[in-house]
Amino acid sequence: MTLPHGVERRAFDGTESLATQGEPVYGESVEDGWRQWVPERSKLGAMLELGVDTGLAGGETVLYLGAASGTTVSHVADFAGPTYAVEFAARPTRDLLDVAADRHRLFPLLKDARAPETYAHVVEPVDVIVQDVATRGQADVALANHRFLQDDGRLIMAVKARSEDVTRDPDDVFADVTDQLETEYEILESRRLEPFHDDHLAVIACPR
Amino acid sequence: MSTEDAWFYGLPPDDESAAKARISEGEANEPADWPEVAVETGFVEDVEAYYDKLHSITTAAANATVQERERADDQQLKHAVRAMDDCERTANELAERVAEWAGTRLSDAGTGVEYARELVRGVTTDPADADLRSLAQRVVDLADEAADLRRTVETTAPDVAPNLSALAGPVLAARLISLAGGLESLAKKPSGTVQVLGAEDALFAHLQGSAPSPKHGIIYTHEYVSGTDPDQRGSAARALAGKLTIAARIDHYSGDRRPEIDAELDERIETIRSRGDET
């Protein structure tokens, strides 16, 4: 698996780590203009670190669902093309706005990812959807946003078992979520994100 | 797709506030290649110009909404209602001081904030009363400040807690949130605790074995408690607290307005009151 163009392995304090080029945002280490991308803090970072074939090449148009305070989005915007960042909570969006201030192709949208009709008048069809929403009904969100994905596009999703049901076995939760996804997506790869994130499943899929 | 669905459809190119409103409030069922549509319809010169514009408008729109939502935050409401209570209490205390002082100097001295207003309007022009008039002015300013804060509470509370505000009225809703420390902690309290919020002294006296359990705390100010016959007041307080607790939970966990709980409370209180009539 190759890293997307714009993402490189660089040395930070003697150890190799993923990195992108851009303005620093959350106190990460910076060497020669390259910002360290820590997999423990980013599910997409963990996927790249673990060698998941995300299909990302760099320069894609991205719809990012669950942008939160913009930690991962900042790296995505560094290597991707136009990036639409959807986040519903006001508090993290304030930090996301700081990230967007330095990135002119990052468009923050204070919207509910469960209600795509509230942003379909702004978001264009995209090459990639990155989904990291911590609400119940994560598969529903992916299905509802299917309309934004181009025919040859990719869904890159981090499923958080605890958001669906804290009491159930994560494997059962993941099985239900992937079953539901398969009604509209073809799943290309899925794997757990341990040791970086407990009880999370990475899913790479394309539209059926 | 339809061109009319675009957030920029029919917008004058430089009308930023209309554009922000479209981003925030607009809707469409299906996405489309909006950058291309924008160029084709002449909204922008080229795709790069479109993205530049989109960046500035989406950032401005998100910023405006964040500020609006954070202003309508439960912690802001807590501070506003506490400040309102502080201003009212201080105004009343100082008004007593003004009345007492004025009584020694003026024959027809009155009492309260209203009398302070009269003094400021010029009951006395004697230079020797300058300090008294100045103090009265502070009372009036504080009372006006309290009134402003009350208006803030009345407009903010329904944003923060729509169901709780509908059931309790905005000011009592704000006081409950303030006593609990926030909407989340109010939502997590059992109904029996909400019933006696604000009656902590009485509750602790009861727990030490020296007093009866309090029937109600701050919710006494609700007409459904204070306006109910004393024999049935405990039942009314319990019923009200139960519905207020449910309202706070809906407000915290979902945030949508559920008018049916108003009707359920009205019905319940009516039953309790008619039970009182029969006996």
Render pLDDT for B209-248 as a digit per residue (tens, 0 to 9).
888 888 889 999 999 999 999 999 999 999 999 999 999 9
Beta carbons of A121 and B24 less than 8 Å apart? no
User: Residue B179 to residues A109, B102, B193, B211, B219: CA-CA distances in angstroms?
Assistant: 35, 37, 11, 23, 11
Do B94 and B146 have their domain in common?
Answer: yes
Do B67 and B98 have their domain in common?
Answer: no
Do B136 and B209 have their domain in common?
Answer: no
- The last residue of a domain, from among B157, B187, B205: B157
Q: Give the pLDDT score at A141.
A: 96
Q: Which domain holds residue B172?
A: 161-278
Return the number of CB contacts < 8 Å for A and B. 80
Do B217 and B188 have their domain in common?
Answer: yes
Do B32 and B105 have their domain in common?
Answer: no
Q: Which of A91, A94, A124 sits opposite B33 (nearest CB)?
A: A124
Which residues from A are below 8 Å from B29, CB to CB? 117, 120
Q: Give the pLDDT score at B201.
A: 85
- The last residue of a domain, from among B157, B182, B209: B157
* Greater model confidence, B188 or B66: B188
Do B262 and B190 have their domain in common?
Answer: yes
Q: Percent helix, strand, coil in chain A (nearest 5)? A: 30, 30, 40
Give the C-alpha separation, B180 to B187, whole Å.
9
User: Does B139 reside within a domain?
Assistant: yes
Do B145 and B180 have their domain in common?
Answer: no
β-strand partners of A130:
A64, A156
What total of structural domains would you count in chain A?
Answer: 1
Do B136 and B169 have their domain in common?
Answer: no
Beta carbons of A122 and B27 less than 8 Å apart? no
Widest distance between CA atoms in chain A: 47
Do B116 and B80 have their domain in common?
Answer: yes
Give the C-alpha separation, B50 to B33, whole Å.
12
Q: Is A41 left (phi over 0), alpha (psi -120 to 50) or beta?
A: alpha
Q: Give the pLDDT score at B238.
A: 96
Q: What is the ipTM of this complex?
A: 0.94
- The last residue of a domain, from among B128, B157, B186: B157
Beta carbons of A120 and B7 less than 8 Å apart? no
Do B126 and B177 have their domain in common?
Answer: no
Q: For the domain that residue A86 is a member of, what is the CATH number?
A: 3.40.50.150
User: Does A17 reside within a domain?
Assistant: no
User: Does B79 reside within a domain?
Assistant: yes
Q: Which residues contact A62 (CB under 8 A, 6 or more apart)?
A: A76, A80, A81, A82, A83, A84, A126, A127, A128, A129, A130
Q: For the domain that residue B268 is a member of, what is the CATH number?
A: 1.10.246.90
Q: Give the pLDDT score at B278.
A: 57
Render pLDDT for B155-198 as a digit per residue (tens, 0 to 9).
888 888 989 999 999 999 999 999 999 999 999 999 999 999 99
User: Does B42 reside within a domain?
Assistant: yes
pLDDT at B71 over 70: no
Q: For the domain that residue B110 is a member of, what is the CATH number?
A: 1.10.287
User: Does A15 reside within a domain?
Assistant: no
Contact with chain B for residue A104, Cβ under 8 A = yes
Beta carbons of B51 and A104 less than 8 Å apart? yes
User: Does B243 reside within a domain?
Assistant: yes
pLDDT at B279 over 60: no
pLDDT at B97 over 60: yes
Which helix (H) or strand (E) segment holds residue B130: the answer is helix B130-160
Low-confidence ranges of chain A (pLDDT < 70): 1, 91, 166-167
Which helix (H) or strand (E) segment holds residue A46: the answer is helix A43-49
What total of structural domains would you count in chain B?
Answer: 3
Query: C-alpha angle B42/B44/B47, rounded to 5°?
Result: 115
Pairing of strands A185-192, A7-12: unpaired
User: Does A66 reside within a domain?
Assistant: yes
